[in-house]
Amino acid sequence: MIKVLLRDDALREVPAGTRVVDILNELGGRLKKEALAAVVNGVVVDLTHQLKEDAKLLFVTFNDNEGQDVYRHSTSHILAAAVKRLYPQAKLGIGPSIKDGFYYDFDNPNSFVPEDLEKIEEEMKRIIKEDFPFERIELAREEALAYFAERGEDYKVELIRDLPEDEVISCYRCGEFVDLCAGPHLVSTGKVKAVKLLSLAGAYWRGSEKNPMLQRIYGTSFPKKSLLDEHLTRLEEAKKRDHRKLGKELDLFSIQDEGPGFPFIHPKGMIIRNELENYWREEHQAAGYAEIKTPIILNRGLWEQSGHWDHYKDNMYFTKIDDLDYAVKPMNCPGSMLIYKTKMHSYRDLPIRMAELGLVHRHELSGTLHGMMRVRSFTQDDAHIFMLPSQIKDEVKKVISLTEKMYSTFGFDYHLELSTRPENSMGSDEMWETATNVLREVLEERGLPYVVNEGDGAFYGPKIDFHLTDSLGRTWQCGTVQLDFQMPDKFGLFYIGEDGEKHQPAVIHRVIYGSLERFMAVLIEHFAGAFPVWLAPQQAVVIPISSRHHQYAAEVVQFLKESGIRVDADWRNEKVGYKIREAQVQKVPYMLVVGDKEVEEQKVSVRERQAGDVGSLSLVDFLAKIQKEIKTKAR
């Protein structure tokens, strides 16, 4: 007999070999209907998994992240089974679950078109209705190689050859379809209740431009049609808010064929960017930061010294100057280290907070580029804090407080992730443990909830990541706080301590916006292009009813412009209603209509972007109103 500990600390004794589903059937109730998989001693497994030793057993449903992963990964197998039925010549790539859905990659002789998705989706529904069980099959390595080679599944053969020699190969069968997979999966295809295929894209096999381009089919699935409908509604709203669409309509930025991944910011976009920079400078000056600027191109020796040459070279751009190797900077930190080294520092000088709006370049695969969300050239609102070891906690807390303050201005909620040591890292185990524990202690002392993101730290240190939640409930990783003991050592940084000896400072690397380009894109989608007044490229438009009101309209424009308001007039010979609709399409916060009455009373008839007509105000009163909104950064 073995002991099984359940979620409510109930202990059961069952025979070795008992299936998880047998315990679930005994428990009954709602859980029996909703459980999708189980977690046994921390590992997610199928419900058909056999227990062979004492175990802690938890069941997961669609309300759990693990449950959603199992549900959607199983749906990706159904997708692959449907494609193989309809297009037997298609070769299988991989098909993981992703946030809110799944995808599967195929190598098909003919390109899939949107109409094919409808056929494939209908075939998926037939496979779901047939309710095939997901059966786990374990094969010896050579047996698995022979099976997939015989069927011409070259990509599966490659994956198997990359697995350890002594590893047992697991596959899953549903109906006639068999796929290489570690699992786990649902009990059967019939557990999937609502499915929708969404889009097509190209994707290099295993993410390398050197490999063939495969066809990727994206989809999603839910246990209820109502949940799917809600999700599709959110997707439609997201399309309307797509920063690429709004960026073009509002004339904010463009991506040109001459520079893929290198955004062009237009005049209206520059107004938003400059306001973001002004706000950033205002808050950083108040928080004790000094602004710096470092070169974009620096020599190879520096990048070798910093560790980027060994750990980040594939993401960098290179050039030669006087026959010497140089690199375009992918990060700003080495420049800050060099500035710190230009003079001697005492312990009394620390902390030193250097802030930089630094332009960096990183090589991203063409298939991953996405408007201003994923680019090759962007400006980081970087800062590097050089401090005594005793100051680390206090400085991390101050960074968190500043970040919270700035995010609240835009109306963002957020959650935190603590990212730990990655595989490709520098430094000793002891250093990483010390640095990670410091960040963990700060979060716990502040009472901030967080999740651990294993293995996603920077190569030189652990970090706290801020994930913003926008108005549609989507999350975006923007801010980060990284603790670093590596670069101070590599650059030989020191300060003179109270004892008159040299000591090594600790360094915090941090960003709040993350990248100005990406943050602008997030703001465009968050506000659906309807920016608060302080950010709006055009804060007001004056609309004369007819040509005889042009003179007064010009006086209104001049008065407001002289007071610092971004305002223009619509002089076109069009109806007032048309001009108002045009201003609303352009998301202008205020429309000021002027006609005979307004000229006589020296007022303006005010329309707000959302509230509509709010009545007449004198120019002085309107100016006071809009200036207050700008000063307080009202949303």
Q: So where are the chain's domains?
A: 2-61, 68-227, 253-292+347-526, 540-632
Q: Which of 362, 518, 579, 603 is catalytic?
A: 362
Please state the rounded mean pLDDT for residues 201-212.
Answer: 89
What homologous superfamily does CATH list for 253-292+347-526?
Bira Bifunctional Protein; Domain 2 (3.30.930.10)
pLDDT at 5: 84
Domain 540-632 coded CATH 3.90.1300.10: no
- The phi-psi region of residue 588 (left if phi > 0; otherwise alpha if psi is between -120 and 50; otherwise beta) is beta
Please state the rounded mean pLDDT for residues 115-127.
Answer: 96
- Per DSSP (E only), the strands in 420-528 are 450-453, 463-469, 475-484, 495-496, 502-503, 506-511
pLDDT-based confidence at 283, cuts 50/70/90? Answer: very high
Scan for tokens 């989608």, then name that residue.
525
What does the mean pLDDT of the chain come to? 93
Number of H helices, E strands in the chain: 20, 33
Q: Which of 243, 509, 566, 579 is catalytic?
A: 509
Known catalytic membership, residue 467: no
Number of neighbours of residue 182 by Cβ within 10 angstroms: 12
Instruction: Spell out the residues 6+ positions from residue 310 whose beta carbon is closer than 8 angstroms to its own.
Output: 304
Please state the rounded mean pLDDT for residues 518-530.
Answer: 94
pLDDT at 17: 86
Q: Which of 384, 467, 579, 587 is catalytic?
A: 384
Please state the rounded mean pLDDT for residues 550-579.
Answer: 96
Q: Which of 329, 463, 467, 579 is catalytic?
A: 463
Q: How far apart are CA 336 and CA 317, in angstroms?
A: 20
Q: Which of 68, 380, 539, 586 is catalytic?
A: 380
Known catalytic membership, residue 33: no
Q: Are 147 and 180 in contact (CB under 8 A)?
A: no
pLDDT-based confidence at 430, cuts 50/70/90? Answer: confident
pLDDT at 399: 95
Known catalytic membership, residue 333: yes
pLDDT at 302: 92
Q: Which of 382, 470, 484, 570 is catalytic?
A: 382
CATH class of the domain at 2-61:
alpha beta
pLDDT in tens, 567-606: 999 999 999 999 999 999 999 999 999 999 999 999 999 9
Q: Are 565 and 592 in contact (CB under 8 A)?
A: no
DSSP secondary structure letter of residue 573: S
Please state the rounded mean pLDDT for residues 176-183.
Answer: 94
Portion of the chain with pLDDT greater than 90, in percent: 79
Known catalytic membership, residue 470: no
- Per DSSP (E only), the strands in 461-611 are 463-469, 475-484, 495-496, 502-503, 506-511, 540-544, 567-569, 590-594, 603-608
Closest C-alpha among 286, 351, 280, 362 to residue 318: 362
Known catalytic membership, residue 49: no
Please state the rounded mean pLDDT for residues 180-207.
Answer: 94
Closest C-alpha among 193, 265, 263, 258 to residue 229: 193
pLDDT at 457 over 80: yes
Q: Which of 46, 333, 526, 566 is catalytic?
A: 333
pLDDT-based confidence at 310, cuts 50/70/90? Answer: confident
pLDDT at 313: 87
> Which pTM does this prediction carry?
0.80
Q: Are 363 and 316 in contact (CB under 8 A)?
A: yes
DSSP secondary structure letter of residue 167: P
pLDDT at 208: 83
Known catalytic membership, residue 206: no
pLDDT-based confidence at 129, cuts 50/70/90? Answer: very high
DSSP secondary structure letter of residue 256: -
| CA-derived radius of gyration, the chain | 29
pLDDT in tens, 489-514: 889 999 999 999 999 999 999 999 99
CA distances to 381, 400, 481 from 477, rounded to whole Å, are: 14, 15, 12
CA angle 567, 569, 573 (to 5 degrees): 165
Known catalytic membership, residue 384: yes
pLDDT in tens, 606-625: 999 989 999 999 999 999 99
pLDDT-based confidence at 455, cuts 50/70/90? Answer: confident
pLDDT at 336 over 90: yes
Please state the rounded mean pLDDT for residues 252-280.
Answer: 96
What homologous superfamily does CATH list for 68-227?
Threonyl-trna Synthetase; Chain A, domain 2 (3.30.980.10)
